[in-house]
Amino acid sequence: MSIKTINPATNENIKSFEEMSAKGIDIALENSEKAFQSWKKTSYWQRAELLYKVAHILRSRKDEFAKLITLEMGKLIGESIGEIELSADIFDYYAVNGEKLLADKPLNPKYGEAFIRYSPIGVLLGVEPWNFPFYQVARFAAPNIMIGNSILVKHASNVPQCGIAIKNIFDEAEAPEGLYTNLLIPGDKITKLVADTRIKGVSLTGSEQAGASLAEAAGKYIKKSVLELGGSDPFIILDDANIDKAVEWAVVARMNNTGQCCVAGKRFIIMDSVYNEFFNKFKAKLMEFEAGDPVDPATKLGPLSSEGALKLLLNQVQKAIKGGAKVELGGRQIDRPGFYMEPTILTNIDKNNPAYREELFGPVACIFKVKTEEEAIALANDTPFGLGASIFTKNTNRGRKIADQIDSGMVFINHPTWTSPDLPFGGTKRSGYGRELSELGIYEFVNKKLIRTSLLEDPF
């Protein structure tokens, strides 16, 4: 079986790679285990030096790596450059802060002395998605290499060249053999891989189905897991919001990465007194998006990542229409080579409509009108997902009170759900569990070891 690069802007098969053999996988595991045994003894300074080198390589060749992202999954070139810069920032963040975050934590027991020491646990497996092929790897690899763990990455099968490029970056940065390994294997081999005793923890960013499968395997073999799954983020606009600013950010929230973002604003919940103004301005902005070559900096609308992604989204829209949804804009595939879809707005979505609870991964906005703040909160929470949320209001205290009532891992006030190296990223409910990035992200795959010293005069 081969793993292919297919350009989603043209539907051309660019390059194919043979998947790793069973023997090749075993050698990779063995090398990773050997690397861990050595790497865990290195100093924080040595680990930070490697992360700095990786960040430098990313920045110095960002145009090259950005073009690879755009070629394999269709991201607009400007957004691809931004992804490379963000990935470099993540490596720098953990290089700068890792030693401080992993320092011994003193305790104050009733008797004796004690502290918590953060220790690495071993070989980790990361299963990463195609929508942010460098950033997703960075937020998994950077903190865990700083901890002293070694890394295996099974990247999405439609971005093999991105996966290979990241491995080459670590080689260029003079990482020890086996510290970072790219696995060219299909998804159906992951469960068997998790069973290997050399793997001590697993992390996945992807679909609910993939997350459930990995979590089941991790539970069966008693291994720590972190899951970042789907999202259907509410984007709440209150009656006192700055509508022009809300529209500006709503367009970014829905159309960033052609809508293929877990934390994209997907359900726009608007109070009735400002509904018409928001709707008309938002629709007018989406009508300005014209499809084009994603390598061209002037292009505003790129393709979806694959033919499968396009077909799934079109089918979801058709089911929504059959369920009573009204198409206010778009709803169709664009007649040109590649996997392009029109920016789409759906309204009149009731609780019986499939679109009410599904994640629509692409340039499709579902818009709801509510009368009260309480109705907005209830609608925001009426979803199986709980990744991010946004609230727009001129009264930040009001925004914080509402944020406290939203069932999600992240809530942003007057801004779309966003990401930064120093902010924790993760969700609740069916959006997964655990956190990546910030100081929380460095504590997921560590042994929080208690070391206690009893004094001679301490009682038994």
What is the set of active-site residues? 228, 262
How far is Cα 318 from Cα 338, in angstroms, rounded to an integer? 20
Q: Determine the Cα angle at 384 with ends 381 and 389, to 5°.
A: 45
Cβ burial, residue 291 (10 Å; 0-12/13-18/19+): buried
Chain centre to alpha carbon of residue 28? 25
Give the SS3 label for residue 16: strand
- What's the first-to-final CA gap in the chain, in angstroms? 63
Which one-letter DSSP state was computed for residue 370? Answer: E
How far is Cα 424 from Cα 117, in angstroms, rounded to an integer? 22
For 77, the token pair is: 């070139």
Q: Within 10 A of 172 (CB to CB), how many other CB atoms are there?
A: 13
How far is Cα 78 from Cα 444, in angstroms, rounded to an integer? 32
Strand 344-347 relative to strand 446-453, pairing: unpaired
Alpha-helical regions (H) of 256-360? 272-286, 307-322
How far is Cα 211 from Cα 225, in angstroms, rounded to an integer? 10
Which one-letter DSSP state was computed for residue 20? Answer: P
- Name the nearest CA neighbour of 32 among 200, 220, 158: 200
How far is Cα 337 from Cα 4, in angstroms, rounded to an integer? 18
In contact, 71 and 7? CB cutoff 8 Å: yes
Q: Which amino acid is at 181?
A: T
Alpha-helical regions (H) of 121-242? 135-147, 160-172, 190-194, 208-220
How far is Cα 444 from Cα 424, in angstroms, rounded to an integer? 12
- Helix-then-strand count for the chain, H and E: 14, 18
For 122, the token pair is: 């071993």
Q: Which amino acid is at 63?
A: D
How far is Cα 369 from Cα 386, in angstroms, rounded to an integer? 21
- Which sign does the torsion angle of CA 80, 82, 84, 87 carry? negative
